[in-house]
Amino acid sequence: MKSIATPKALASVVTLSSLLLFGTATSADRGCGPHGYYGDLCQPAATYSVSVTNGHTRVIQIHTDPASPSIACLGIHPMLRENVDTGVVMKVPERGSEDSNVYYDDPCVPPGTYRYGCRLAHYCDYDTIGVVPSYVEHVVDYGDEGLDVEQCLEEIDVPAATSFSAEAPWAAAEDNVACVGTCEEDADETGAAAVAHDKAALPLFVMLTLIGVLFYRRSWRGARLNSDIR
């Protein structure tokens, strides 16, 4: 019974594998660098911001790019507010999408120091550059005027924060780091880092290609010998 793995078939497999290996290795490196062959592809890490409206409402947003709309927490996971002193965790209501941005409104917040963050932190993908924090810390202080929290809650016509049964996901963490992006900037505007990576992969590409050529020549000689015998 004749073997299916003929020299010609092996030559095709080896050559194709070398092309795929070389292409994957170089494109993976180029795809990360903002100055690589494919342009600005490193994505900024997700970060939080807190602003104040109506004197008492904290507005939390998640940004991945200053030029892009703010985004929501992943999936069904909520935005949380942790009291740094007491450890009490509250669920902050989502206002929803408005002018393409997503907002989380936390009205009538009592004075104190808080940490705002998603129940599930945004992950670091292969194209993420920078650090994704677990939370943003924010101090609430109304000065001498103070705030009557109970009266404030009675007067507002929007949802307020509600209790959350679990502790904050970052409670046991030693630092405010959810993950660190692995995407790195290239050495310069010409994509020198990508070119260096290509040169490193070139010897393996050449070796596999030569093996493929040798298999192909072997199959050609075998075919010619069989033709002469006939």
- How far lies 2's CA from each of 214, 216, 217, 222, 226, in Å? 21, 18, 19, 14, 14
- Per-residue pLDDT tens over the stretch 81-124: 999 999 999 999 998 777 889 999 999 999 999 999 999 999 88
Question: Which one, of 61, 158, 57, 135, lies nearest residue 102 by Cα?
Answer: 61
**Residue 185: strand, helix, or coil:** coil
Distance CA 27, CA 38 (A): 9
Question: Which one, of 48, 2, 18, lies nearest residue 215 by Cα?
Answer: 18
Torsion, Cα 203 209 213 216, to 10 degrees, reads 150
What number is the average pLDDT over the span 59-87?
93
Q: What is the largest CA-CA distance in the chain?
A: 106
Report the percentage of the chain scoring pLDDT > 90: 49
Instruction: Spell 66-103 as b/e; 16+ CB within 10 A means b.
Output: eeeebbbbeeeebbbbbbeeeeebbbbbbeeeeeebbb
Q: What is the pLDDT of residue 31?
A: 36
Q: What is the pLDDT of residue 67?
A: 82
Distance CA 198, CA 22 (A): 8
Instruction: Give residue 66's pLDDT band: very low, low, confident or very high (50, 70, 90).
Output: confident
Q: What is the pLDDT of residue 218?
A: 63
Query: Dihedral sign, CA of 81, 112, 161, 51?
Result: negative
Distance CA 108, CA 149 (A): 6
- Per-residue pLDDT tens over the stretch 120-143: 999 888 888 999 999 999 999 999
Could you please report the per-residue DSSP string of 103-119?
A: EEEE-SPPSEEEEEEES
Instruction: Give residue 8's pLDDT band: very low, low, confident or very high (50, 70, 90).
Output: low
Indicate if the pLDDT at residue 211 is higher than 70: yes
Helix (H) or strand (E) holding 199: helix 192-229
Distance CA 160, CA 153 (A): 7
Q: What is the mean pLDDT of the chain?
A: 77
